[in-house]
Amino acid sequence: MTDYYEVLGIDRSASDADIKKAYRKMSRRYHPDIAGPEFEDKFKEVNNAYEVLSNPERRRMYDAGVDPNDPSASAGASGFGMGDMGDIFSQFFSGSGPFAGGSSGPRPRRQSGRDALAHASIDLKTAVFGGTAHVTITTYGLCGDCAGMGTTNGERPTTCPDCHGSGYRQKVVRTLLGQMMTTAPCDRCEGYGTIIEHPCPACQGHGRVRTNRDVGITIPAGISDQTRLRLAGQGEVGEGGGTAGDLYVDITIAKDRRFTRDGDDLHCWVRIPMSWAVLGHGVDIDTFDGPRTIDVPAGCQPDDTVTLKGLGVTKIRQQSDRGDLIAHVSVEIPTRLDDHERRLIEDFAASHDTDDTGTPQTPQPASPNRKGFFSKLRDALS
> What b/e readout covers 32-53, taking b as 16+ CB neighbours within 10 angstroms?
ebbeeeebeebbebbbbbbebb
The Cα 211–Cα 208 span in angstroms is 9
Residue type, 243: T
Does the annotation place 300 within a ligand binding site? Answer: no
Say how far apart CA 248 and CA 130 lie, in whole Å. Answer: 18
Q: Is 163 annotated as a binding residue?
A: yes
- CB count within 10 Å of CB 200 equals 22
**How far, CA to CA in Å, does 348 sit from each of 297, 316, 330, 340, 377?**
19, 50, 21, 12, 12
- Helices 16-30 and 40-53 meet at what angle, rounded to 10? 170
How many Å from the N-terminal Cα to the C-terminal Cα in the chain? 80
CA angle 67, 70, 72 (to 5 degrees): 115
C-alpha angle 192/195/200, rounded to 5°?
Answer: 110
Cα dihedral sign for 179, 185, 188, 194? Answer: positive
* Binding residue ranges: 143, 146, 160, 163, 186, 189, 200, 203
* Binding residue ranges for Zn(2+): 143, 146, 160, 163, 186, 189, 200, 203
